């Protein structure tokens, strides 16, 4: 898990780097060189959706997705474990369905291309499928840990709350 976290996180981080570089380059091209880069907008939108869905996989591994634990905090540990397994399994189902729907949508949008770069919308929409499958796998692993009674703490990652 730790390795897959590093890989996915690094890949998503690389896309963030590309996003910054492209935006900065487009400012330079427009202001210094006087020739705006016309595909910046398309490319940024393309990168952002992949950042979200790849980032979401890494975020799931470190168990940092947003949730409201006010109610479950008041429940006994054993119950929380079972509830976690049931909700987790339901989530895996939801994500599987999301992945499938994303694929169907990508297929039907494949003909449509972006105006400048002529990227097929398939490559934009399919980010949902890739992301949902990735998250579902992580969640399934967590449900398995819950059911077999193993500790479920997120693996040690380069923690975001690390002090500097």
Residues 123-152 that bind another protein (CB under 8 A): 124-125, 128
Say if CB 17 and CB 73 are below 8 A apart. Answer: no
| Cβ distance to another protein smaller for residue 65 or 150 | 65
Instruction: Looking at residues 38 to 97 of the shown chain, list those that interact with another protein (rule: CB under 8 A).
Output: 38, 41-42, 44-45, 48-49, 51-56, 58-59, 62, 64-73, 83-84, 87, 90-91, 94-95, 97
Number of residues that bind another protein (CB under 8 A): 73
The Cα–Cα gap between 127 and 46 comes to 9
| Nearer residue to another protein within complex by CB, 124 or 133 | 124
Tell me the C-alpha distance between 113 and 51, whole Å.
Answer: 20
Positive or negative, the Cα torsion across 61, 64, 70, 74?
Answer: positive
CB of 68 to another protein, least distance (A): 5
Of residues 99-128, which lie at the interface with another protein (CB under 8 A)? 101-102, 104-105, 108-109, 111-113, 115-116, 124-125, 128
Angle between helices 122-147 and 40-61 (to 10 degrees): 10
Beta carbon of residue 120, minimum distance to another protein (angstroms, whole number) = 9
What is the C-alpha to C-alpha distance for residues 164 and 145, in angstroms, rounded to an integer? 33
User: Partners of 113 in the beta sheet?
Assistant: 120
Binding of residue 34 to another protein (CB under 8 A): yes
């Amino acid at each position: 898990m730790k390795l897959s976290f590093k890989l996915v996180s690094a890949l998503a981080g690389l896309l963030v780097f590309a996003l910054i570089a492209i935006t900065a380059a487009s400012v330079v091209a427009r202001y210094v060189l006087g020739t705006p880069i016309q595909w910046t907008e398309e490319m940024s939108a393309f990168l952002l959706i992949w950042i979200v869905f790849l980032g979401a996989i890494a975020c799931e591994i470190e168990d940092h997705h947003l949730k409201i634990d006010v109610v479950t905090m008041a429940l006994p540990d054993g119950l929380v474990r079972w509830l976690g397994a049931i909700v987790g399994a339901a989530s895996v189902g939801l994500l599987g369905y999301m992945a499938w729907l994303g694929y169907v949508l990508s297929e039907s949008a494949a003909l449509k291309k972006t105006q400048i770069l002529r990227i097929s919308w398939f490559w934009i929409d399919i980010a949902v499928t890739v992301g949902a499958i990735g998250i579902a796998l992580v969640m399934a692993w967590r449900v398995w840990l819950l059911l077999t009674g193993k500790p479920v703490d997120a693996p040690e990652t380069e923690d975001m709350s690390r002090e500097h």
